[in-house]
């Protein structure tokens, strides 16, 4: 089967739709990231765009393992297989050829990785510039540096050639303007949103409710987890029974963090590995506090998700986080371990503060909507299409 074919009934449905509306403009959306943590944005956009019943013919490009997902989720959209891996020559050549063959009136790329030589109308979502500024210690330093230089060029090239840009926060919008030199008038901010999990909560083995601080995510350098471990070490003096649960896939970075805690002699740090939706929900509903120590974010979705489930959030004051969390979080300087420990201690020992953060957090999370994000994005499409 070729890259521009898709199995199942969706291809037929698309053909029928095309015959009914020959003159419909064609909108292509790159959903190759679908099903990943970074792909939640594009999944939610497509889901809610489908509910808006767009007049355009919508074509979804996605990888083989997500074809059936979109066939069920968006029966009136055409779903096309596109297994071109991000940041590869195949993406630059094969995906370019595939998109050209589709004769799109507009293509939406949810991230900067895209065929840089594509000359048609493009809308690009620039999630953040974190990769421009931080390195990945698991990669070969020289190779990573070279790739990072290319990535920097791609960000500037894509920002300038796109007809319109979308960012998930005002902070990222300003950052993109400063870094790439594009006009702020061609950027629209569309906030993301938190989701409720339907699975019943499932406890994590060895962790007692209301006796732990939680964090969920990858331990990349900009996530600042070494300082969090150090801050937790300070808290152990006054809260000996407290645990720090660092949930996320056990890769080399997480193993390195585990060794770091051992070297520092800090006990009580729990590494459960990847957690299911049910365990993820239980963590948010039963933690003493959710901590988000990141040095750089484009939106900061985990903290908002924690708020949705009633967790008091103690957050870094860096980049976009105060914009997204507003008055619903207690903030600390992410480069100051003492400040991080002090703010966590406040929430652990001041129940009235804890309850105030829980109340404000639920209200803050309720302000955001995927449906609103999709409607704003559709407005961008119509503006670019004229």
Tell me the average pLDDT across 292-303.
96
Q: What pLDDT does residue 276 have? A: 93
Tell me the average pLDDT across 195-209.
92
Q: What pLDDT does residue 353 have? A: 98
Tell me the average pLDDT across 11-29.
61
Q: What pLDDT does residue 8 have? A: 39
As a whole number of angstroms, the distance between CA 254 and CA 67 comes to 32
DSSP 3-state percent helix, strand, coil across the chain (nearest 5): 50, 15, 40
Given a cut of 50, whether residue 378 has pLDDT beyond it is yes
Q: What pLDDT does residue 87 have? A: 86
Among 5-19, 77-91, 339-353, whose mean pLDDT is lowest?
Answer: 5-19
As a whole number of angstroms, the distance between CA 184 and CA 21 comes to 36
With pLDDT > 90 as the criterion, what percentage of the chain qualifies? 83
Q: What pLDDT does residue 134 have? A: 84
Given a cut of 50, whether residue 248 has pLDDT beyond it is yes
Q: 211-235 pLDDT, tens per residue?
A: 999 999 989 999 999 999 999 999 9
Q: What angle do CA 267, 273, 278 make, to 5 degrees?
A: 115
Fold match between domain 9-193+369-385 and domain 212-366: yes
Confidence label for 133 from pLDDT (cuts 50, 70 and 90): confident
Q: What pLDDT does residue 23 have? A: 66
Q: What pLDDT does residue 148 have? A: 84
Q: What pLDDT does residue 9 have? A: 38
Given a cut of 60, whether residue 170 has pLDDT beyond it is yes
Burial 268-281 (b: 16+ CB within 10 A, else e): bbbbbeebeeebbb
Torsion angle defined by CA atoms of residues 64, 216, 308 and 332, in that order, rounded to the nearest 10 degrees: -140
Tell me the average pLDDT across 249-275.
94
Q: In residues, how long is the chain? A: 386
Confidence label for 28 from pLDDT (cuts 50, 70 and 90): very high
**Superfamily of structural domain 9-193+369-385:** Glycogen Phosphorylase B; (3.40.50.2000)
Query: CATH for 212-366?
Result: 3.40.50.2000
Tell me the average pLDDT across 35-49.
94
Structure tokens at 144: 């990573």
As a whole number of angstroms, the distance between CA 138 and CA 144 comes to 9
Q: What pLDDT does residue 11 have? A: 43
With pLDDT > 70 as the criterion, what percentage of the chain qualifies? 94
Angle between helices 337-349 and 351-366 (to 10 degrees): 100
What does the domain layout of the chain look like in residue ranges? 9-193+369-385, 212-366
As a whole number of angstroms, the distance between CA 383 and CA 355 comes to 44
Confidence label for 3 from pLDDT (cuts 50, 70 and 90): very low
């Amino acid at each position: 089967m070729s890259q521009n074919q898709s199995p199942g009934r969706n291809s037929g449905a698309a053909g029928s739709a095309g015959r009914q509306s020959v003159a419909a403009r064609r909108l292509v959306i790159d959903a190759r990231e679908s099903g990943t943590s970074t792909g939640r944005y594009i999944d939610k956009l497509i889901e809610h765009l489908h509910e808006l019943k767009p007049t355009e013919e919508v074509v979804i490009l996605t990888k083989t393992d997500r074809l059936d997902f979109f066939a069920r989720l968006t029966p009136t959209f055409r779903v096309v297989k596109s297994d071109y891996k991000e940041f590869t020559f195949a993406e630059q050549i094969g995906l370019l050829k595939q998109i050209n063959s589709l004769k799109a009136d507009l293509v939406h790329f949810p991230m900067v990785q895209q065929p840089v030589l594509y000359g048609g109308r493009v809308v690009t979502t620039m999630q953040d510039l974190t990769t421009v500024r931080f390195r990945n210690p698991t990669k070969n330093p020289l190779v990573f540096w070279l790739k990072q230089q290319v990535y920097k060029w791609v960000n500037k090239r894509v920002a300038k050639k796109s007809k319109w840009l979308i960012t998930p926060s005002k902070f990222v919008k300003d950052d993109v303007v400063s870094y790439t030199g594009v006009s702020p008038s061609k950027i629209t901010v569309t906030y993301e949103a938190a989701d409720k999990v339907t699975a019943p909560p499932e406890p994590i083995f060895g962790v007692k409710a209301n006796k732990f601080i939680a964090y969920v995510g990858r331990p990349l350098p900009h996530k600042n987890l070494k300082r969090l471990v150090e801050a937790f070490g300070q808290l152990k003096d006054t809260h000996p029974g407290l645990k720090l649960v660092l949930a996320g896939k056990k890769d080399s970075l997480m193993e390195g963090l585990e060794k770091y805690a051992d070297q520092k002699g800090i006990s009580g740090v729990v590494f459960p590995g990847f957690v299911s939706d049910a365990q993820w929900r239980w963590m948010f509903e039963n933690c003493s506090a959710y901590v988000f120590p990141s040095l750089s974010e484009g939106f900061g979705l985990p903290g908002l998700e924690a708020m949705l489930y009633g967790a008091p959030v103690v957050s870094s004051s860096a980049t976009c986080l105060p914009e997204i969390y507003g008055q619903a979080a207690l903030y600390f300087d992410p480069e100051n371990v003492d400040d991080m420990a002090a703010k966590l201690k406040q929430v652990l020992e001041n129940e009235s503060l804890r309850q105030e953060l829980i109340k404000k957090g639920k209200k803050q999370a309720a302000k955001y909507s995927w449906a609103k994000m999709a409607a704003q994005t559709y407005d961008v499409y119509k503006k670019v299409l004229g």
